[in-house]
Structure 1
């Protein structure tokens, strides 16, 4: 008997409840398992809990969230736990990310965004390395 393949796990940091709810629904409808959180501290706990249970495939982190750990630093925490985790930074202004030390290979998306834009970036991060385009995208 073949083992059931698992859906990729996305951890989502979005400070706004409506954004988190809509984005979670969109990702789930696209076939991803999603754990959403309001604070970076909550995400940090999720990441630590899943190192022993199940691998987190992609972290979507809101760079505008300020907490004990901010949305930008959170990606570094995730990569320390698992260097292969994909990262998408979201921000109201992508200029806010200019000059910041971002995780290698991470993608950026300006908020507000459409769900299909984020789904495309998550899919790109999960694609084999040879298929990746390697450039940033911003919402129009």
Structure 2
């Protein structure tokens, strides 16, 4: 494993637009803007799309699990689920079999809508990935994971 040399804190008098946090936020804002534009044409928001993606991979997730995985509060997650349910894209029981969790699943229409928009969303990610040399991608992914882990401690 490569030893990391501490570089210290960023100089608060230096150009803030060169700080790691600023650059991460800039990349995230650019990604969100591109996704918003594509998804809007399909009648979806980013949290709704993320929810559909997760439910396709993990049918039966609860509202709490979905909210955590899509980076929204449980209350916002519930609003997302209600919107998807009203659009006929998901189904969840009116009451829980046990506890409070109501497992959520995609409907046929939900699977269709997800498939319809996935290629456009994946193309956005591909544009980002193509902006850096392919041999640097594994290190970037690992570094991003380390940055998140450092703040989750």
Same fold by TM-score, threshold 0.5 exceeded?
no
Q: Could you say which TM-score interval applies, normalised by the shorter chain? A: under 0.3
Normalising to structure 2: TM-score of the pair? 0.25
Normalising to structure 1: TM-score of the pair? 0.26
Structure with greater helix share of residues: 2
